Amino acid sequence: MIELIDIYKTLGGKKVLDGMSLTIERGETFVIIGRSGTGKTVMLKHIVGIMMSDSGRVIVDGVDILELSRNELLSFRKKFGYLFQSNALLNSMTVFENIALPLREHEEMTEGEVQARVKEKLALVEMDGTQHLYPASLSGGMKKRVALARAIVRNPEIILYDEPTTGLDPITAASVNTMIRDMQKRLNVTSVAVTHDINSAYIVGDRI
């Protein structure tokens, strides 16, 4: 499903990715462990095409994304859901509005269809009934679940997780890890997670 071939990337004079290659099979959960600053998030950004390599190839579902035009790449990104390390929820929007935003920005759906889709995804992450709440009133684990609902709201084939348990207490982190495994089984998606937490890696990963 995903193949990185001999990827090099230098940022600010520092070589962040130095000939990196990996292959991720369709339907598996692949986890990369590393300390902060070792290029884990940079690697995720290359997979989704937010960042382009200095050299090498990024092939997703048989398509070399470096050869896509800007408009083709924007359309291709529908394959991806992205769970940000900081959740990236908009504090001025309710839970419903945060999750509905990608649908309203990128899909042609009626308001009834948007509401049904948001409700469906909130139920999947066990957060149904929170549509009217604002992020400031949610716990860290609840924010993570809402962020995941937004990541899957467009029914992606691939979910990218950037440090999904950072800043969470051990019990909440364990709950998030279980949720990640559950999403992979329910949705039959390909998942890529980066983390510095070796315990989380062994819980969620098919390959590490």
Strands (E), 51-188: 55-60, 63-64, 80-83, 158-162
pLDDT at 156: 94
Backbone φ and ψ of 148, nearest 5°: -70, -40
183, pLDDT greater than 90:
no
Q: What is the pLDDT of residues 7-31, one digit of tens each?
A: 999 999 999 999 999 999 999 999 9
176, pLDDT greater than 90:
no
Res. 171 pLDDT band, cuts 50 70 90: confident
102, pLDDT greater than 80:
yes
Q: What is the pLDDT of residues 27-66, one digit of tens each?
A: 999 999 988 888 999 999 999 999 999 999 999 999 999 8
Which residues, 6 or more positions from 74, have their beta carbon under 8 angstroms from its beta carbon?
Answer: none
- Strand pairing partners for 58? 4
Res. 170 pLDDT band, cuts 50 70 90: confident
What percent of the chain clears pLDDT 70, i.e. is strictly above it? 100
Two structure tokens written together for 174 = 């364990």
Res. 165 pLDDT band, cuts 50 70 90: confident
Q: 207: left (phi > 0), else alpha (psi -120 to 50), else beta?
A: beta
Rounded CA-CA distance 3/62 in Å is 9
- Which strand (E) or helix (H) includes residue 164? none
Two structure tokens written together for 5 = 């071939």
120, pLDDT greater than 90:
yes
- Strand pairing partners for 80? 158
Please report, for the chain, the start and end positions of each structural domain, with discontinuous segments joined by +.
2-204
Closest CA to 77 of 60, 97, 54: 60
Rounded CA-CA distance 79/156 in Å is 5
Average pLDDT across the chain, whole number: 92
pLDDT at 189: 92
Q: Decide: 164 and 180 in contact? Cβ < 8 Å.
A: yes
- Provide CATH code, domain 2-204: 3.40.50.300
Task: DSSP letter for 33, please.
Answer: E
Q: What is the pLDDT of residues 128-160, one digit of tens each?
A: 999 999 999 999 999 999 999 999 999 999 999
pLDDT at 5: 96
Q: Decide: 31 and 201 in contact? Cβ < 8 Å.
A: yes
Two structure tokens written together for 69 = 């035009």
pLDDT at 186: 85
